Amino acid sequence: MNNSSDKKPKRYSGEFTCPHCRVFAQQSWVDSRSVKDRFGLMTTQEFLDYRKNIGSYDQGIVENFIRHLLERMQSIHVSKVPQSLSIAICKSCNEFTIWVGNDLVFPRKSTVAPPNEDLSSEIKGLYEEAQLIFPDSARASAALLRLCVENLCRELGLSGTLNKCIKELVRRGVSERVQQAADYCRVIGNESVHPGQIDFGDEAETVEYLFHLVNDIADEMLTKPRKLKEKYSSLPSEKLRQIEKRDGWWLIFQSVLKGNTSLFLLHNVV
């Protein structure tokens, strides 16, 4: 079974997650060696096809000529392919990745998941910027992802430092999973800017995990509530009125205990 590190794009790997289609697929490689081999096979086949149409007494002369031509063309064309350049062609989407040495230089995007669709355009922009610079600076990506979490807290109506925002989320009853994810993003993001006691180890792997956590937090705080609200609102109106009548005063009481009198006033007006 492949783990996440096995699926990352790697030079001369037979299969990895394609940055274009995001499918874990087989890759076909082309470099200076394969160009020379393929060019040789192509030219040899052309010679064999051509040789069938001439007299046998001319075979030696033609063969020497073709071999000389093959050597000359290989030296001219193959020499123009840099030794450090290689190209992988995805067998799933037929798009290609370009490599110089062991570095992926095209496309300039990572294989991490795209941002959660329920994130605001501003936070999506930060997330995508973190994606773009991730191959060059994992630490810079970590700082941007920390900012994603902080801005999400602001959009949820929280204020103060990110540490205080997370504290308030805990007070409001957020799950331990969200608290831990937010604190992990906060601490790693802080350390990326002000190195301290934490050893990043595999820096890229650590920061890549932050992308997943940002989406996890958005899923818990935005996506799941939205989906539940949509499903709940689709119930028959009569059923909704019965539920409201059953729970109305209890919800108001709970709201007043939390210092929110707006629901109480609204109920009296209605």
pLDDT of the residue at 71:
67
CATH code for position 172: 1.20.120
Give the end of a domain, one of 39, 74, 106: 106
pLDDT of the residue at 168:
95
- What predicted TM-score, i.e. pTM, was given to this entire model? 0.64
pLDDT of the residue at 263:
44
Q: Is 116 a member of any domain?
A: no
Whole domain around residue 167: which residue ranges? 121-233
Residues 141 and 37 in one domain: no
Residues 86 and 147 in one domain: no
Residues 44 and 102 in one domain: yes
Q: Is 112 a member of any domain?
A: no
DSSP the chain: ---HHHHS--TT-SEEE-TTT--EEEEEEEEHHHHHHHHHHHHHHHHHHHHTTS-GGGHHHHHHHHHHHHHHHHHHHGGGS-TTEEEEEETTT--EEEEETTEEEES---SSPPPPTTS-HHHHHHHHHHHHHTTT-HHHHHHHHHHHHHHHHHHTT--S-HHHHHHHHHHTT--HHHHHHHHHHHHHHHHHHS--S---SSHHHHHHHHHHHHHHHHIIIIIHHHHHHHHHHTS-HHHHHHHHHHHHHHHHHHHHHTT--HHHHHHHH-
What average pLDDT values come out for the chain (270 residues) when binned by 10 residues? 65 89 89 68 62 60 66 59 82 90 79 91 95 87 95 95 96 94 94 68 83 96 94 91 78 59 44
Residues 129 and 217 in one domain: yes
